[in-house]
Structure 1
């Protein structure tokens, strides 16, 4: 593995290589199956209605995610390629964002490449990059926002302000996809205030109150702008007076009590891969095919060890990179204990699962000498699991109806 990563001494070539590899992998056989999969049955029709400006549809979520799916349909046609094309771009952006975050935290290209690689082989990123759902877009915008805000810690005062504003806009757009991104606005505000108090040289040119103001302004304007298409609906067009009450209507829809679902799961079960979801399992395009949303066990379980190591390391040494690596996952996951949802689903863990790759890369970089060659053995194991599970992550042809048993290791995975 050291020889494999050896050519990537400079960050830009390494980043480009990871982006090309991710986009190629996410786009390979993208149109399989040639039918709507899982929640595509909600979001593709909503995107079609939005493209035609018919009127409000799927109003429990803001518009941006459905607007992006509609843009894909406009570019590539109302086909599986059009439904899913921009999701692959979001997946690739997640890989690039993780690379940037880890590089900013460690200034080590090898560590950044490891973070990006673990993101690629994190099964959830692959599956979400190949389906027309909202979560991939939201996650991409949040990850890029974190990278932009980390970038803002360095540079001149003017650069710092503009980079922080970029992060604020990206967070506002993320909320414009799904409200699950809202907590990250609070995390950004609190994180800057705490870190600025510890070291005033961070984010030059920004006081905590000016940063909060820019955060609110940038995110608020970006979020409001995502509703622009609704003002041109043929039926029930949005008005400025109705924009605020509409937020309450969305909240009521999102917090309503829903009937039990076969794939529902408790938030505390997600880190151990409790109740993953078969997005698709049926005969299609001449073969038995399946799409299984679960996390790579090496990344999911190994990542928990990395989070614990980073948290304990921060308590002992106060190394800021260790604290941030642990806090990203702890805050991203812990908030689900209080979010008022009547049902939980494993794909809600998508964004916290991405932070595991950051924690792993930072931990491997920090304790690389102590690990000797075990870090490379771990990376090989993660990649081998990716190859093993690949057929049921991408709707590959299977032998028959009982083929799922080969990958359903536990009863809850069936």
Structure 2
């Protein structure tokens, strides 16, 4: 039996969402300067951010500029040290948590479900780890998620302003990493399908106008992020080179790369077969480790929630159940298609966060049958967070072999 519809008890859910984002920001900032050396792919993106800060010339040319520009902003604001490296990532992580709250609230209309989704995202490990490292994917998801939020809201109330803002955010997500580009096409297909089913809705958004705005605004937002490159001291960008540069990026991203210790296939990510140790070495006076691993309760339970959402949609035709399941499937399916020679678990980052939305929507939908199991589920996720906390936070470990405590399977080493 589906949970009956209830009126929203919080008159200003946006205020609660902002409070959650602030709490997440404080959590992500705590000891963010540990370790005081670059971690994992920070060794690539920090030099690129310094080049953008100084406008010295192109660097890390296989990816667009926006995420590196935001890291450079952190260097400007807080200096070229651990806080400056990671400060803007904490902001993106907090925005991601708020985005989970907002999207879940839009899908369910209930604050309890939205709060559950936000808490599961915090306890899911992946947002916490990515919010404390200077990597592109952190910024990608923040823009992507809020783009989805605004486009979803626009499809509900016909707001042209929200549609334009959502399109711009999808363009900015693509300006972090190209993997966000398929979501623009997905938004277009979704709008056309919904408009066909309910043509009287969204009087301010005809199909042609909506698609033109979606494509035009997202493309414009993407290319605007290249403006700083026109002011490089060495090899400045020109209008003539802007489009050929996109092809150069494509060639760099699709080139054949050598074997990597942590490479993995896309189908292994939902099963948690090959996580990544971002750090495991003596640093700052102690043995420390940071593992990018999803909380097993959220990752494996989320797969059951996705299946339940699909089943509920087949049985009842509920769009609110279908949406999070399709989001997760799309986020994983992209990597089964795109021409990348290597895959890594951090590519699963967006999909891992969509699982918290699927879980909260499923728990809300079947709450009449499940009772207070959402609280019990949160307690399980919290208990696992406490268990893995030392290797999520780079806390001092007892000795060099301490990793065995958290590596449940040989492939986690």
TM-score range, shorter chain: over 0.9
Separation in structure 1 between the aligned mates of residue 271 and residue 160 of structure 2, nearest angstrom: 40
Residues 407 and 7 (structure 1 numbering): CA distance in 2 closer, same or farther, change over 3 Å? farther
Rounded Cα–Cα distance in structure 2 between residues aligned with 1:296 and 1:408: 13
Paired residue for 2:53?
A: 51
Counterpart-to-counterpart distance in 2, 1:125 and 1:382: 14
Give the match's secondary structure for 1:35: coil
Structure 1 residues 369 and 10: alpha-carbon distance in aligned structure 2, compared to 1, 3 A threshold: farther
Matched ranges for 1:64-213 at <5 A: 64-155=66-157, 160-213=159-212
Q: Could you tell me whether the CA contact under 8 Å between 1:274 and 1:346 is conserved in 2?
A: no
Question: What is the aligned partner in structure 1 of residue 276 from structure 2?
Answer: 277
Distance 1:113 1:254 in 2: 38
Q: CA deviation at 1:202?
A: 4.1
Q: Matches of residues 2-401 of structure 1 in structure 2 within 5 Å?
A: 11-155=13-157, 160-401=159-400
State the alpha-carbon separation in 1 of the partners of residues 202 and 61 from structure 2.
Answer: 38
> Any idea what SS the aligned residue of 1:365 has?
helix
SS in 2 for 1:305: helix
Alpha-carbon distance between aligned partners in 2 of 1:7 and 1:34, rounded to the nearest angstrom: 44
Counterparts of 1:351 and 1:318, CA distance in 2: 25
Match of 1:400, SS state, is coil
Once residues 162 and 11 of structure 2 are traced to their aligned partners in structure 1, the CA distance between those partners, rounded to angstroms, is 26
Equivalent-residue separation in structure 2 for 1:225 and 1:134 (angstroms): 18
How big is the shift at 1:286?
Answer: 1.0
Q: For 1:334 and 1:318, how far apart are their aligned partners in 2?
A: 23
The answer (yes or no) to whether the contact 1:160–1:204 under 8 Å persists in 2 is no
Q: Secondary structure of the residue that 1:56 maps to in structure 2?
A: coil
- TM-aligned CA deviation for residue 373 of structure 1: 2.4
Cα distance between partner residues in 2 of 1:174 and 1:145: 8
C-alpha separation between the residues in 2 aligned to 1:225 and 1:274? 39
SS at match of 1:399: coil
2:9, 2:111 within 8 Å by CA — same for their partners in 1?
A: no
Match of 1:3 in 2: none
- 1:294-340 deviation line (CA, Å, top 9, x unaligned): 10001100000010111111111111101111111111111110110
What is the DSSP-based 3-state SS (H/G/I as helix, E as strand, rest coil) of the residue aligned with 1:152?
A: helix
- Counterpart-to-counterpart distance in 2, 1:146 and 1:391: 33
Q: Deviations over 1:224-248 (max 9, x none)?
A: 0010011011111111011000000
Q: Which residue of 1 aligns with 2:402?
A: 403
Whole-Å Cα distance in 1 between the matches of residues 202 and 351 of structure 2?
25
Give 5+ residue unaligned stretches, structure 2.
1-7
SS in 2 for 1:190: helix
Partner Cα distance (2:227, 2:19) in 1: 36
Question: RMSD of the TM alignment (CA)?
Answer: 1.4
**What is the rounded CA distance, in whole Å, between the counterparts of 1:7 and 1:75 in structure 2?**
39
The answer to whether the 8 Å contact 1:9/1:110 transfers is no
- Cα offset for 1:203? 3.4
Q: What TM-score do you get using the length of structure 2 for normalisation?
A: 0.96
Report SS of the residue matched to 2:103: helix
State the match for 2:4 in structure 1.
none
Q: TM-score with structure 1 length normalisation?
A: 0.96
* CA displacement at 1:267 relative to structure 2: 0.5
Secondary structure of 2:270's counterpart equals: helix
Q: Which runs of 5+ in 1 are unaligned?
A: 1-5
Instruction: Answer yes or no: is the 8 Å Cα contact 1:8–1:110 preserved in 2.
Output: no
Asked if 2 retains the 8 angstrom alpha-carbon contact of 1:103 and 1:112, the reply is yes
